[in-house]
Amino acid sequence: MSRKLFGTDGVRGRANTHPMTAEMALRLGAAAGRYFRRGGQDHHRVVIGKDTRLSGYMLENALTAGLTSTGMNVLLLGPVPTPAVGYLTRSMRADVGIMISASHNPAHDNGIKFFGPDGFKLSDEAEAEIESIVAGEIVPAQPQNIGRAKRIDDGRGRYVEYAKTTFPAGQRLEGLKVVVDCAHGAAYRAAPDVLWELGAEVIPLGVAPNGHNINDGVGSTHPEAAARAVLEHGADIGISLDGDADRVMIIDEKGQVADGDQIMALLAGRWAEQGRLRGGALVATVMSNLGLERFLQGRGLRLERTAVGDRYVVERMRGQGFNLGGEQSGHIVMTDYATTGDGLIAGLQFLAAMAESGRRASDLVAQFEPVPQMLKNVRYAAGADPLSVEAVQAEIARAEARLDGQGRVLIRKSGTEPLIRVMAEAEDETVLREVVDGIVAAVEKAA
C-alpha cells in the first residue's frame, strides 16, 4: 500500500495548507480512530500532545473531533515533548498516541505523528492503512458511542519524574551550571524542571513561547545561541533541544558544539565498557560521519547504517535487538529508556558521564576526528524533480568518480520539506567543496 500523506515522520506541511488543514486533521483523527477501534469494544483511548505552535490549537481540536466521532476517548496532554507522548501512550494504556509538531521546522509548519500502544511510531504499513481509510468513507460511531475528551494536568509531571529515573541512582548535578535551550518549544517547562530537581544550577534559554517563535534563532538547529549563553554565564555545559525535544546538541564549556555522532560515540564507548551495549553495534543513518564508523571499528564495534529517519533507526534496533542508535542531527534513541529520540534523556546521559568520570564536557565532546563533511540544501518547487534531470545525474556521476575510494556522495530528498540534500565526505576539503558546489549548481539550475 503506497503512502502520499505520510512522510518519514508522520504528516507534515505548512499550517492551513494541505495537508495541514483542520479538515484533513479531522479526517486523520477519524481514520486513526476507526483503525484503532477495531472490534467495537468500549473504553478506547488516545493521548494527544503538542508543541507550542499557534496552529497546534486548531489541529488539536480537529483531531479531537475526528477521534471522538469514531468513539475514541481523548486525553489532552497540552505542550509536552514528543518522547513524553511515546512514554505516556504506553504508561496510560492508550490505544494510540498523537504528537502535533513539526519538530525543528519553522513556526508556520506543523505535523501529526502517531504512536502505537507500545509507544513506538507506527510502521509504514499501519500508516498506509490509515491513509487508505482517510481516502474512503469513514463510518462514524452511533450517537450513544461518541467519545469524550478531557485535559490531563499531570502528563508533563509524569514525564519529568520518569526522566529523572534515567539518571544514575546516587548521582547528583550539584556544582554544575547548565544552560538548557528549549527552542521556545515543547520542553520549555519540563527540561529546566528535570535539571533543577537533579541539583543543577539552570540557565534557561528559549523558554518564552508565543506561538510564533519556536526554533527561531534558538534550539538544536541554532546551537550558537546556547554556545553564547554558556560562555556568557561561565556554564559547564549547554543542552540545546529542538522544538519537540526529540533532538539534542551538546555544547562544552568552551562553546564547542557536539552533534549526534559525537554523543553516540561517547555513549557507545561507555556502554560497551560497562557491558550495556547490546549486539556490539550502534545503529545510525547514512548521514553519520565516516569518522564515527572508524571510531567504533577501533573498539571492535559495528556501525549499522539505515535510511535517513529515526523511525528506520528504531526499526533496525527493534528488529535486531540493539539498544543504542540515532542520527547526526541529534536524535539519540536509547530503547532502554525511551521509544523514540529523547533529547533531554540523552543530555542526562551526557551529564552522567561527566558526573561519573569527573571530566569536563570539553574532554568528552570530541570522541573522534570527523572526516570533513559538507551538507547543502537546495529548495525546489512543488511538483519538480531535479534529480531526474540528465545534467544533474551526470554531475553526480562525475563527483562519485572523483571521490572513488577517498570519500562518498549522498544525495536525497528531504522527507519533510521540498529540499534536496547534497552531502559529501572527503579527506581533501578543496575537493569536497568543489564536488558539493558542482552538484548544488546543477540541482539549482534544474530546480
Q: Which are the catalytic amino acids?
A: 103
d(CA 233, CA 31): 50
d(CA 139, CA 356): 56
Can you read off the three cell numbers belonging to residue 393?
A: 545525474
- Answer for the pair 156, 84: CB distance below 8 angstroms, yes or no: yes
d(CA 116, CA 93): 10
d(CA 140, CA 158): 33
- Answer for the pair 406, 440: CB distance below 8 angstroms, yes or no: no
d(CA 354, CA 376): 34
- Answer for the pair 141, 153: CB distance below 8 angstroms, yes or no: no
* Cα 400 from chain centre: 30
Can you read off the three cell numbers belonging to residue 415?
A: 522527507
Beta strands of 312-392 (E only): which ranges?
Answer: 324-326, 332-334, 373-379
**Dihedral pair phi/psi, residue 318, rounded to 5°:** -70, -40
Would the CA dihedral through 69, 72, 76, 80 be positive or negative? negative
Can you read off the three cell numbers belonging to residue 294?
A: 572508524
d(CA 235, CA 332): 23
